[in-house]
Copies of this chain bind each other. A is one copy, B any other.
């Protein structure tokens, strides 16, 4: 096995971090979804960068317009998880030498579409030649330190919730890359979940306003990984009573004889929010999200344990801490 795959993304980030002088008084822990800088008492500049790479993040059937849009949406999703409105973004573009004018226009249009859909603008960037398409987005926003939703505040008794059902991108990727079959009625939904992902920005912003959320993360590395990350950062466990599996993923799974829970738990590139909510404020949070046209699904409870267990029909299963980690296959 190649070195990078053996190490895995988390270990790589640890290795880099171990070599960095930590910035004094940073308002957000290094490993959260975004970074921040306190420009005045309680006022934060929020920054995020994430990179889309052709080889690993762009299935063949994805257009350049879709790839560019997705590169922006990936970053918006991290802002959504913190409850922060993205204001503007810069783009570093690495372009293969075979690209022509039309390819580049498509990238420009996709970047713009991704940003404008969420009220942000692309305000600059740089470009260079690369062996493979690389779109690195640097996103900027402002927030109040008080209300920012971090990963590390979950408390036993909080409700574990998600903003949507899971498993569609896992199924969609299997259709696009591994040529699985799916019935016509669900195929489009599954494939579109991969090609045209959406960030839960409205949901994140309104939840932030309700001050009901104790910890939050986006689910881009998979549901299981996200739950474990919240639990680890907060020093808690979780007991799940329900797995949020999308109907289309359910149907795809039974037609292909796959375990639907695997699709939902260990997929990735699925941009829902995974949160813990103060139980006494659950109704308020749920109503607020509904008012934006979204939904908030209760899937379990935070415990004082250290593991994440799923209880169904009296049987307890532990959900292992694995996920869609880049490099590790």
Give residues in A with beta carbon < 8 Å to B: 2-5, 7, 9, 12-13, 15-23, 26, 30, 34-35, 37, 39, 45, 47-51, 53, 55-57, 87-88, 90-101, 104-105, 107-109, 111-112, 116, 121-132, 134, 136, 138, 140, 142, 326-327
Q: When the two chains form their complex, are residues B35 and A128 in contact, meaning their CB atoms are under 8 A apart?
A: no
Contact B107 A16 (CB under 8 A): yes
Query: Is there an interface contact between B127 and A326, defined as CB atoms closer than 8 Å?
Result: yes
Instruction: Flag if B4 contacts A96 (CB, 8 Å).
Output: yes
Q: Top 9 closest A-B pairs, CB basis?
A: A19-B108, A138-B138, A35-B124, A136-B136, A23-B121, A51-B92, A16-B108, A49-B90, A3-B100
Number of identical protomers: 2
**28 A-B Cβ contacts within 8 A?**
A4-B98, A4-B99, A5-B97, A7-B100, A16-B104, A16-B105, A16-B108, A23-B88, A26-B123, A35-B124, A37-B87, A37-B140, A39-B39, A47-B123, A49-B49, A49-B90, A49-B138, A50-B126, A51-B92, A53-B94, A53-B129, A53-B134, A95-B327, A97-B327, A128-B327, A134-B136, A136-B136, A136-B138
User: Could you say which residues of chain B place their CB within 8 Å of the CB of A111?
Assistant: 16, 19-20
